[in-house]
Structures are given as C-alpha cells and as structure tokens.
Chain A
C-alpha cells in the first residue's frame, strides 16, 4: 500500500501542502473507510505507508520521499 501525491507545480523540498478536498481521489472506498474513519484523516496510519510524489509534467523526475510528519492546517 502507498500514498500517491500528484501536484501541478514542483514539490518544495522537505515541506509542502495538499488541499484536504483533494485527498482520497481515485481511491477504493474500503481504503477511504480505513484511513478516514468517521470523516477524520488517520494521519498516523497514512504516514506509515510509503510515499510517492510526482509532478504532472512528463519530463519530471520522480523521487521517493519518506513522509515524516503531517498535520491539518486551516
């Protein structure tokens, strides 16, 4: 199992953001239920999964980061 994060612009080294409204797109409902029980993101469970970040440009090079921390921000 892994996190797939896709962004239009470059990922900032070390720290970046993702709109909460874009979470769990193209994700099976059983996984949504598992990682967002009762509508709340289970951040700790998501952090435990490998992370795969990439930009949507075809010439971009993908690197595999390790998600070390995540939190919600207003």
Chain B
C-alpha cells in the first residue's frame, strides 16, 4: 500500500549561515523542540519566532577587552542615545539641547554621569556606548588631527554596518 506523501519544493536562503545540529541542541527548548524530535522523521509546527531565536543564539560570543567589560551578548536599546563630551559644566547646555531633541522624537539621551552602575566611570561610559542606538560625540576643543582620525574611524564603523 502506498503511503500518502506531502511533496515539498524549497530553495535555500544563502544569506543565512548553516547551523550545526550540535549548536541547535543547545537552544532547542527555546524553539519548543523536545528531545525525541531530534530522532524522529516528522513535520511539526511551532509557535516560536524562528529567526529571532536563531539570531539570538547564533551570535558569536564577543571578544572581551582587558581594560573594561562588555556584555556577553550585544543588546542595543532602540531608543537610547548617548552623548559623549568632556566632563565640564560648559557642556551642560549642549547636553540639555541634545536631550530635548532626542525626547522630541521619542528617544532617551543619556550621558555617563546620569548613570552609576559601576565603580569605575569608564565602565559606565563603555556600557552606555555599547547599549546605545546612536552615539553623539562633542569634539569641541580637540585638535584637527583628532577630528580627522575620528571621521575616518566613524566611516569605517558605518561601513562595517
């Protein structure tokens, strides 16, 4: 007796890197895949956001710098803007303007002195930059060579995105 089959036609998305089964096993529970499913021919439908889960779990661990720490998994807050400027009251008006502008478009602007999550200020600065969607740097007072270097770095970062 012939078994009733479902014929499937599919094409592979070459933009998504292959995932080793061993890696998948590590986060199978998040995909609602139970152990026996790895060992049985079947077709299941799962009520889980596949791409979000794969993205979350396939990100390579970040290289940890020695001087400060980064979160193991990058977690950018979509509404967070960080303002980088010298620690001087001369820049308070600039910061206030940035905050108002950010809030007018539904964003939150923060400066490192707004937060106190770590004993070292540099760590608060790093965490703020790491979590921000936008980083605004006020380079007032720096020499032209610094501005040129910063511009070249910024272009490199933008290019890598």
Interface of chain B: mostly helix, strand, loop or mixed = mixed
Proximity string of chain A (8-34) to chain B, C-beta cutoff 8 Å, 1 when within and 0 when not: 100001111111111111111001100
Contact B48 A72 (CB under 8 A): no
A55 to B39, CA, bound (A): 9
- Asked if A44 lies at the interface with its beta carbon under 8 angstroms from chain B, I say no
Residue in B2, B11, B43 whose CB lies within 8 Å of A4: B43
- From residue A10, how far is it (CB to closest CB) to chain B in Å? 12
Pair count A-B, CB < 8 A: 169
Contact B7 A6 (CB under 8 A): no
Residues of A within 8 A of B50 (CB): 1-2, 50, 52
- From residue A72, how far is it (CB to closest CB) to chain B in Å? 6
Residues of B within 8 A of A23 (CB): 6, 42-43
Contact B10 A22 (CB under 8 A): no
Interface residues of A, count at CB 8 A: 55
Contact B44 A27 (CB under 8 A): yes
Residue in A8, A26, A58, A66 whose CB lies within 8 Å of B11: A66
Closest to B51 in A: A50
Closest to A49 in B: B45
Q: Would you give 23 A-B contacts (Cβ < 8 Å), ordered by A?
A: A1-B46, A1-B48, A1-B49, A4-B43, A4-B45, A5-B42, A14-B9, A19-B3, A20-B3, A22-B42, A25-B42, A25-B43, A27-B44, A28-B47, A31-B45, A32-B45, A53-B10, A54-B24, A60-B21, A63-B19, A67-B10, A72-B4, A73-B7
Q: Which 10 A-B pairs have the closest CB atoms?
A: A65-B10, A2-B50, A25-B42, A61-B18, A69-B9, A17-B5, A20-B4, A22-B42, A4-B44, A62-B19
Excluding A1-B45, A69-B8, 15 further A-B contacts by CB distance (< 8 Å) are A2-B46, A2-B48, A4-B46, A6-B38, A15-B9, A19-B4, A23-B42, A25-B42, A25-B44, A41-B6, A64-B12, A64-B54, A65-B12, A73-B7, A74-B4
Q: Residues of B with Cβ closer than 8 Å to A?
A: 2-13, 16, 18-22, 24-25, 31, 33-34, 36-51, 54
